[in-house]
Amino acid sequence: MPQAVKVFAGLLFTSLDLLGQARERLVKEFGQADKESEILDFTFTGYYDEEMGAGIKRQFVSFARLILPEQLPAIKLLTNEIEQDLALKGNRQVNIDPGYLNLAKVVLATTKDYSHRLYLGQGIYGEVTLTYAKGKFNPFPWTYPDYQTQAYRQFFEEIREIYKKQLPQI
């Protein structure tokens, strides 16, 4: 049986009101948030600008309740549903990227296949985005540029410490 993992969500948004609505839905589904990042400027790509508009921000939220890794596809489908519920005229106003963390890695869920992604089921793929070695999270060549930043990796190192305290003592 795999060890339970720590679920998180990375939210892209332009409206604090919509961020609040999305977070409220996530808390309803996953339970109490135990850590949130600062609100950061998202300037790494223009990919979302046409759909979401200018001035996109990012915030990460982790949740106290641990999950099993095989729950990630269902979580991604749920976050896609939340995105659609908050959409305006078919355009997403919030983008929610769920994933999980364990002691060794950060895994993101995506609907897009690529050479370094594994199919998890239900139309969802998993990508190991960061790996933990030598006391810190480290990127791969395919890691998104924002996930390579010190700010993002620091957040994941902080929730890794929370996660360590949640694990049963062996």
What DSSP state is assigned to residue 117? -
DSSP 92: -
Helix (H, G, I), strand (E, B) or coil at 27: helix
Residue 130 backbone phi and psi in degrees, to 5: -135, 150
Q: What is the pLDDT along the chain (170 residues), one digit of tens a residue?
A: 889 999 999 999 999 999 999 999 999 999 999 999 999 999 887 788 888 888 999 999 999 999 999 999 999 999 999 999 999 988 899 999 999 999 999 999 999 999 999 999 999 999 999 999 999 999 999 999 999 999 999 999 999 999 999 998 54
User: Which residues are within 8 A (CB) of 150 and not within 5 positions of it... i.e. 6 or more apart?
Assistant: none
Per the listing, tokens 């959409």 go with 87
User: pTM of the predicted model, to two decimals?
Assistant: 0.93
Q: Which residues contact 141 (CB under 8 A, 6 or more apart)?
A: none
Residues with Cβ within 8 Å of 56's Cβ and at least 6 positions away in sequence, in order, are 12, 13, 14, 41, 42, 48, 49
Residue type, 89: K
Domains by residue range for the chain, with CATH: 5-166 (3.30.70)
The three state secondary structure string of 35-58 is EECCCEECCCCCCCHHHHCCCCEE
